[in-house]
């Protein structure tokens, strides 16, 4: 008789019509776990079962720990195998044992697997489009979270929750996250985003809001061989009578390099940037 972990893996493969083995292959997870020197002793909540359970939990309308455990109990009971306790403690601890680096490394793997399933003709002009955006999330009020992601300074101690800033680069075609960064609320979203530009490939197109409509971000994206479509910053004035005209409200102009070096860049990095950059404004 197959063990409980094998039964659960089979049930996940048949659930919610998701190609689990194509998106989160067990062989890839095991390879990454071996690289992280992670070992598991649970006969039920193995790494792959725990990971698949987390994904199905997020996709489930209920999204609760208890519902995720209940689902596994039903599957095991139907197979005539002794199910685990309905207590969510074991599953919760299994989730905590999953290394954060494992999840980080699996994110681009899943994104790539999803995009491979989409025909090239569905891409924009045959090019991949990435979207960049940021937001904030509240976290559990634990000492560790408060130390890493302090609550808002306007809140009194003990009256607020840790808050983190997240910046995500995702595929416009599939909606899958390609890369992400997380930091404390006081960290600049722009600085976090610039760390994600390294995930762009030549001929990629990146979309973002007006916070990114500046010389520096356009140049950094171009250095990756990609193109950017950003809303223009409201502080930058546009005169369509100037530059190379392509039509009404459409021209090409030259943006000059700013004189001041950003705090997050070294003087050497800043000096290496071109003195100006050609931009098309519409």
**How confident is the model over 58-80, as pLDDT tens digits?**
777 778 888 888 877 777 777 67
> Taking the CA atoms of the chain, what radius of gyration do you get in angstroms?
24
Q: Please give the pLDDT value at position 282.
A: 94
pLDDT mean across residues, the chain: 86
Residue for token pair 């919610």 = 16
Helical H segments across the chain, by residue range:
4-14, 20-23, 26-35, 47-59, 65-78, 89-97, 100-116, 143-148, 189-194, 215-222, 267-271
Q: Please give the pLDDT value at position 273.
A: 96
Q: Please give the pLDDT value at position 16.
A: 46
Q: Please give the pLDDT value at position 233.
A: 85
- 191-207 mean pLDDT: 96
DSSP secondary-structure letter at 127? B
**How confident is the model over 207-218, as pLDDT tens digits?**
999 999 999 999
Which of 78-82, 120-124, 278-282 shows the lowest mean pLDDT across its residues?
78-82
**How confident is the model over 135-190, as pLDDT tens digits?**
999 998 999 999 999 998 888 888 889 999 999 999 999 999 999 999 999 999 99
- Domain ranges for the chain: 4-104, 118-281
Q: Please give the pLDDT value at position 13.
A: 54
Residue 97 · residue 45 · CB < 8 Å: no
Q: Please give the pLDDT value at position 84.
A: 76
Domain 118-281, CATH class in plain words: alpha beta
DSSP secondary-structure letter at 29? H
Residue 255: how many other CB atoms lie within 10 Å? 16
């Amino acid at each position: 008789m197959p063990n409980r972990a094998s039964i659960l893996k089979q049930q996940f493969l048949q659930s919610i019509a998701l190609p689990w083995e194509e998106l989160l292959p067990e062989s890839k997870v095991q390879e990454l776990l071996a690289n992280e020197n992670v070992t598991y002793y649970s006969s039920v909540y193995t790494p792959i079962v725990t990971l698949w359970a987390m994904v199905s939990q997020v996709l489930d309308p209920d999204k609760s720990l208890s519902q995720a455990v209940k689902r596994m109990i039903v599957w095991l009971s139907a197979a005539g195998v002794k199910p685990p306790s309905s207590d969510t403690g074991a599953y919760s601890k299994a989730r905590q044992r999953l290394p954060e680096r494992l999840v980080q490394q699996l994110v681009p793997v899943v994104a790539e697997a999803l995009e491979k399933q989409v025909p090239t003709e569905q891409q924009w002009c045959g090019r991949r489009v990435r979207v960049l955006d940021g937001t904030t999330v509240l976290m559990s009020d634990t000492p560790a979270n408060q130390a890493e992601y302090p609550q808002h300074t306007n809140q009194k101690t003990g009256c607020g929750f840790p808050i983190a800033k997240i910046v995500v680069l995702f595929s416009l075609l599939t909606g899958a996250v390609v890369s992400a960064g997380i930091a404390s609320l006081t960290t600049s979203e722009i600085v976090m985003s610039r760390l994600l530009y390294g995930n762009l490939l030549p001929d990629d197109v990146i979309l973002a809001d007006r916070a990114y409509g500046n010389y520096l971000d356009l140049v950094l994206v171009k250095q990756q061989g990609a193109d950017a479509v950003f809303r223009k910053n409201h502080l930058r004035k546009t005169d369509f009578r100037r530059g190379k005209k392509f039509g009404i409200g459409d021209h090409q102009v030259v943006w000059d390099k700013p004189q001041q070096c950003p705090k997050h860049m070294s003087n050497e990095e800043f000096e290496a940037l071109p003195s100006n950059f050609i931009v098309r404004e519409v």
